[in-house]
Structure 1
Amino acid sequence: MKANQFPLLLHAFFHDWLVQQRNVSHHTVLSYRDSWRLFLRFVATQETKSVARLGMDDLTAVEVLAFLKDIELVRKSSIGTRNCRLSALHSFYRFVADREPLAAAQCAAVLRIPTKQAPVVEVR
């Protein structure tokens, strides 16, 4: 993959794929946007880089797992929110795997991250 194709891929994902190809709702786009905003800020903090300097090499499965852990433990978000954030990331990595064969292994590693089951509350 070229040096920093990530910004182009992210733009294509939101503009071309989600809006034009998939015709997802405006609320889905906003939810995915918010998920990506949080993820990129998290990774930028971890890598001590600006968001603008992040590339696909910075956005590994290890970073995704750390981000999901942060969502639950630091931000105190529910498992449902965690899974929504993961869904937004999974969607992007499926998109990238289809368009950038050289990133297939990295994408596959992220796509192997499972959603988390919420504890079952017994009602009597």
Structure 2
Amino acid sequence: MKKSFLIPLTIAIVSTTACSAFRPSTQAVNVTCTPDSSVLTVNGQRYKSPTQIEVPRNRDLSIQCNKKGYHPAQRTIGHHFNGTGALDAAGTLLLLLPGIGLFTPGAWSLDQTDVHVQLFEEQ
């Protein structure tokens, strides 16, 4: 091969390989519990409501809200294979290098990034 052909080929391979590997491993999530002053727990850590936190994008998110005199509430936010991961999967059919991105958190996204949990009074 000529050297002039290798440079564009190398650029093409590098720019289309493992795009998911370059995405952040965390994702911002906004969580609110109503009524105010509820105790908010996300993945075992306590926060004040409302809050915005960075959580791993390749794991489910567990949210609990509690307040005296109210029924406790729990929500689980799942995660899914995102478009960047799909592109890496398709690229793997042509070249093996994009497959690296499939093993990184960047190939996933949370199902929901704005979460509101409503507590209801005990009777």
Instruction: Compare the two structures and name the one with the higher helix fraction.
Output: 1
Structure index of larger Rg: 2
Q: TM-score, normalised by structure 1?
A: 0.25
* TM score, norm. by length of structure 2: 0.25
